[in-house]
Structure 1
């Protein structure tokens, strides 16, 4: 499948502020790196096998990223210097994701992180303590191993990594709907 855009269209794409793609891609289109005005991006059902962060991390105005069933890889690494203006990150239904890493200097303005339906992620993102501006962490339908570590008596090391976050919400889907609770502060 050809994901190229005619060069005559590329200049008008530079002013594009929102991009929503709900389709199978397998790899990120190369032209995405040219979207310098992009503020929000929403990728769903993409089936990406390559890490989508490589194409998105240096877009200078990106404030919100949503990935829903968009990536089939085992890991995501948010590299130092990447996503400098990002404030909201939503990662949902990434069924193969086993690990996440946040390098110091990545996403320095991130305020909200939502992780939902990532069953193989059994630990908090390595380096989550580097997200000093993070105000809200929402964990919905995550592995019981991850949640148990956060709720263990005394908090443990996992809790210490998120102690700076003002609001940590743990949600599980039950027969009655979403059961949400605020993780108590120690």
Structure 2
């Protein structure tokens, strides 16, 4: 991630299940990382159990898709800093995460500023 997040013209990033070594558990988006990123797709990252988004990361991100990342039980706190985020899609995640992001859930504050929230059914 350290190399990718320094690419000044990267506007779209699609992270899939085989993007990292099998034992990778934490995904970190650093402050000032991904300065031009507008579209981020995170799909099938089963081994990731923690995701951190530092304040100042991905300042231009407008669309985020998170699908089938069964290791995640919560969304990154730093999503609340993504003020340009216009569309967030979450599908195929654990029931625990779904409960946390409902309107009365403890993590809803992280995503309440996003105008378009598309929340699919949780995994069975």
TM-score by length of 2: 0.90
1:69-115: per-residue Cα shift (whole Å, max 9, x none)? Answer: 12231111100011000000001001101111111110000001111
Taking only aligned residues, the RMSD between alpha carbons, in angstroms, comes to 1.5
Of structures 1 and 2, the one with the larger relative CO (CA 8 A, separation 6+) is: 2
Cα offsets for 1:20-50 (capped at 9, x unmatched): xxxxxxxxxxxxxxxxxxxxxxxxxxxxxxx
Offset, 1:172: 2.9
2:82 counterpart of 1:134: no
Runs of at least 4 residues off by over 6 Å? none
For structure 1, the 5+ residue unaligned runs are: 1-52, 175-186
Flag the structure with larger Rg: 1
The structural deviation recorded for 1:67 is 1.1
TM-score by length of 1: 0.61
Which residue, out of 135, 150, 155, partners 2:104? 155
Specify every segment of 5 or more residues in structure 2 that has no aligned partner in the other structure, as ranges. Answer: none
State the match for 2:36 in structure 1. 85
Match of 2:74 among 117, 120, 123: 123
Q: How many corresponding residue pairs?
A: 120
